[in-house]
Amino acid sequence: MPLRRDLSLARGLARRAFRSRQQRRRLERLDRERVRRAPEPGSVRVAVYFADTSVNMYQIRQWYAPLAHLAETFPVAIVSRSPGAMLALMEESPVPVVYARQVADLEAFVEAHPLAVTLYVNQNAKNFQMMRYGRMWHVFVNHGESDKMYMTTNQFKAYDYAFVAGDAARERLAAALWDYDLDARAVPVGRPQADHTAGDVPFSPDDRTVVLYAPTWEGDRAAAAYGSIASHGTRLVPALLASGRHRVIYRPHPRSGVVDRDYRRAHEEIVAAVAAANAADPTAQHVYDAGGELGWQLAVADVAVSDISAMVYDRLATGRPLVVTRPTSPLADVDERGYLGSAEWLTADDASQVVEVLDRVQADPEAQGRLQHWVRHHFGDTAPGAATQRFEAAVARLVARRDEYAARDPQPPRAIEEADPSDTGDDGL
C-alpha cells in the first residue's frame, strides 16, 4: 500500500508539472493580451492578492462584482501567482490583472504602484510573500462567512485588519483568539457580495418549489468533515426529483471528491440522477450548476439545503428559508454557539424525508423569526447597497490613512527582508 500511494503521488505531481508547463507556455503566447489586461503604471491603489491555483478560483470569483464597483473609486488590480489562475482571470476578471509568478515580479509590481491596501481572500501560505511589504495596509477579507474552524484561525493576527461580516464574526474571534484587539482590527462590513446578483436564471419560473442543494467538499481532516454528498445527498436529491413539485439546483463545492473517491462517486451519482430526471421530464428543468457565478441561485431558491460552510451564510444573508445538514462524523467541529444553535437541521437519517422537512420549515413562522434574528446578528444592515457602502468606506479610510503616513515619510516601499527573487508562486511547477 505505501508503494502504491507513493506511485499515485508521483503520477499526480507529474501531471501537475506537465499541466503547469502547458499553462506557462500558453501565457507566453498570450503575452500581448497579458499586457493589455495589466493596469496602467503608477495607478493601482488597491491590490487583491491571489496566490492559489485555478482549483480555488471560487474564492476570488465571488469578489468580482464588489471589486468592479470599488474600482469606480479606487483603481484595483488582482495579482495572480499561478499560471492556471492567471489564464482564468484574464478571461473573467472585471478589473486589471497582474501575473507575478516570481517574487521579482511581485517586487516590480509593488514598486510600480502607489499601493495603499492589499486584500487577501484566503490564508494561502504565500500570502507572506506579499505581506513582507510595509507602507500599505494588509487586510483579510476572506471568501465567505461561516462557523467553520477556518473562521477563527490565529492567522487573523498576521493582517493589519480583517473585514468581517458582523457581530457574529466578532464574537467568534473574541472566543478563539488571545490578545486580539477586535475594536481596532476587526471591521464589520456585512456581505457586499449580496448586493450583486450574478448570473442569469437558466430556467423559466413556474409553480415548482425551487430547492438549492449546495453541499461542501469532504474536507481534508476529520474536524472539517462537513460534506453531505455521500451521507445525505444521494437520498435527498432523488426524493426531491421524485416529488414532481420541486426543481433542484445542485451546486456542489468545486473540490468535491478531490480527496475521497467514494465522495466523488456519490457526486457523480447525483449528477446522473439530475440528468435522468430532466430526460424523463424536460419541463422539470432541474439544474446541475458547476458555473463560476454565484448569486442567482441564492436569489431564486424558495428554500436552500446547505452543509456547514460559507454557503450557509451566503443564503442567510437573503433572509429566506434554510436547512443545514448535520455532519455524520462525530469528529466534525460544529460550533452551535451562534446561528447553528438555532438552525433547522437535516440529519442523514431524515434525508429521505427531505420533502416533509422542507414543507415544515417553509410554513413555520417561528422558524422565520429566528432566521431574521440571525440575519441581523451576522450581517447587520442588509438593505440593498448597505454592505457595499460599508466595505468601500472602510477601504477609503485606509487609503486616506496610508496617504497621511506616506506624506510624512515619503520613502519607497521596501521588503522587510530579502527573498529569493527566483522564488515562484506555483511551488516551482
Instruction: Find the mean pLDDT for residues 210-235.
Output: 95
Tell me whether domains 2-190+386-408 and 209-379 share a fold: yes
Q: What is the pLDDT of residue 16?
A: 65
Output the CA–CA distances (angstroms, integers) from residue 215 to 96, 97, 285, in the order listed: 32, 31, 20
Q: Which residue matches cell numbers 454557503?
A: 311
Q: What is the pLDDT of residue 58?
A: 87
As given in the structure block, the three cell numbers for residue 341 are 444553535
| C-alpha span between 63 and 82 (Å, rounded) | 18
Per-residue pLDDT tens over the stretch 276-326: 999 999 999 999 999 878 889 999 999 999 999 888 988 998 889 999 999
* Candidate CATH numbers 3.90.470.20, 3.90.320.10, 2.40.400.10, 3.40.50.2000; the one for domain 209-379: 3.40.50.2000
Per-residue pLDDT tens over the stretch 349-371: 999 999 999 999 999 999 999 99
Domain positions in the chain are: 2-190+386-408, 209-379
Q: Which fold has domain 2-190+386-408?
A: Rossmann fold (3.40.50)
Ordered DSSP codes for 225-285: ----IIIIIHHHHHHHHHHSSEEEEE---TTTTSS-HHHHHHHHHHHHHHHHHHHH-GGG-
Q: Which residue matches cell numbers 455524520?
A: 328
Q: Angle at CA 297, nearest 5°, toward 328 and 86?
A: 90
Q: What is the pLDDT of residue 427?
A: 44
Per-residue pLDDT tens over the stretch 5-60: 555 555 656 666 666 677 777 776 666 666 677 899 999 999 999 999 988 998 99
Per-residue pLDDT tens over the stretch 316-349: 988 899 999 999 999 998 888 788 899 999 999 9
Output the CA–CA distances (angstroms, integers) from residue 345 to 10, 132, 207, 305, 323, in the order listed: 41, 44, 26, 9, 6
